[in-house]
Amino acid sequence: MPPTPDLLNIADEFIGKPAREHPRKLAILGDTRQATYADLARDVNRVAQALRDSGCRPGDRVLIALPDSIEFVAAFFGAAKIGALPVPVNSMARASDYRHYLTNSGARFVLVHSSIYQELQPALSGSAAEYIIVVESRGYVATRPGRRILTWEDWLPQNPGDVASHATAPDDPAFLLYTSGSGGAPRAAVHLHRGMMVTSQSFAQGVLGLRPDDVTFSVSKLYFAYGLGGGMYFPFFVCGSTVLFPDRPRADLIAEVVVRRRPTVFFSVPTFYAALLREAETGRAVDFSSVRLAVSAGEALPAEIFTRFRNRFGLDILDGIGSTEMLHMYIATRPGQARPGSCGVPVPGYKVKIVDDQGRELPEGEIGNLWVSGASRLAEYWNAPEVTRSRTHGEWFLTGDKLTRDSDGFYHYCGRADDMMKVSGMWVSPADVENALLAHPAVAECAVVGHADALGLTRSVAYIVLRPGVQQPGGGLDSEIGSWLRTRLVGYKCPEAYHFLPELPKTATGKIQRYLLRAQLHRIPSGDL
Q: Which amino acid is at 64?
A: I
Nearest to 433 by CA among 357, 478, 488, 483: 488
Phi, psi angles (nearest 5°) of residue 36: -80, 170
pTM: 0.84
Final residue before a domain boundary, out of 416, 437, 452: 416
Q: What does 482-515 look like in DSSP terms, one character per residue?
A: HHHHHTTS-GGGS-SEEEE-SS--B-TTS-B-HH
The reply to whether 329 falls in a domain is yes
Residue 271 half-sphere exposure toward CB, CA atoms < 13 A = 21
Same domain, 263 and 355: yes
Together in a domain, 295 and 434: no
**If you compute the radius of gyration of the chain from its CA atoms, what whole number of angstroms results?**
23
**256 in a domain, yes or no?**
yes
Residues 298 and 358 in one domain: yes
Q: Are residues 382 and 257 in the same domain?
A: yes
3-state secondary structure 468-480: CCCCCCCCCHHHH
Of 395, 416, 437, which residue sits at a domain end?
416
Claim to verify: residue 258 and residue 302 sit in the same structural domain = yes
Q: 364 with 292, same domain? A: yes
Residue 87 domain-assigned (yes or no): no
**179 within some domain:** no
* Rounded-to-integer distance, Cα 43 and Cα 47, Å: 6
Note whether 302 and 431 are same-domain residues.
Answer: no
Supply the range of the domain harboring residue 493: 421-528
CB atoms inside a 10 Å sphere around CB 58: 13
Query: Could you tell me which of 517, 516, 514, 511 has the C-alpha nearest to residue 221?
Result: 511
Same domain, 411 and 425: no
- 258 and 325 together in one domain: yes
Residues 308, 430 within the same domain: no
pLDDT 10s digit of each residue in the chain, 529 long? 667 788 999 999 999 999 999 999 999 998 668 999 999 999 999 999 999 999 999 999 999 999 999 999 999 999 999 999 999 999 988 898 899 999 999 999 999 999 999 999 999 999 999 999 999 876 545 556 567 999 999 999 998 999 999 999 999 999 999 987 545 578 999 999 999 999 999 999 999 999 999 999 999 999 999 999 999 999 999 999 999 999 988 999 999 999 999 999 999 988 889 889 988 888 788 899 999 999 999 888 989 899 999 999 999 999 999 999 999 999 999 999 999 999 999 999 999 999 998 999 999 999 899 999 999 999 999 999 999 999 999 999 999 998 999 999 999 988 777 777 777 667 788 888 998 999 999 999 999 998 776 666 678 899 999 988 887 656 689 899 999 999 988 888 899 899 999 999 887 667 788 878 887 765 554 334 4
For residue 348, what are the contacts with CB-CB under 8 A and spacing of at least 6? 202, 206, 207
Residue 441, domain member (yes or no): yes
Please report how the helices 251-261 and 270-281 are oriented relative to each other, as an axis angle in degrees rounded to 10.
90
Assess if residue 37 is contained within a domain.
Answer: no
Residues with Cβ within 8 Å of residue 256, at least 6 apart in sequence: none
DSSP state at residue 467: P
C-alpha span between 298 and 301 (Å, rounded): 9
Task: Identify whether 363 is part of a domain.
Answer: yes
Indicate the residue among 373, 395, 416 that finishes a domain: 416
**Do 276 and 410 share a domain, yes or no?**
yes
Number of independent structural domains in the chain: 2
299 with 382, same domain: the answer is yes
CA distances for 342 relative to 211, 292, 297, 308, angstroms? 26, 20, 12, 15
CB 200, CB 192: distance < 8 Å: no
- In CATH, what number is assigned to the domain containing residue 460? 3.30.300.30
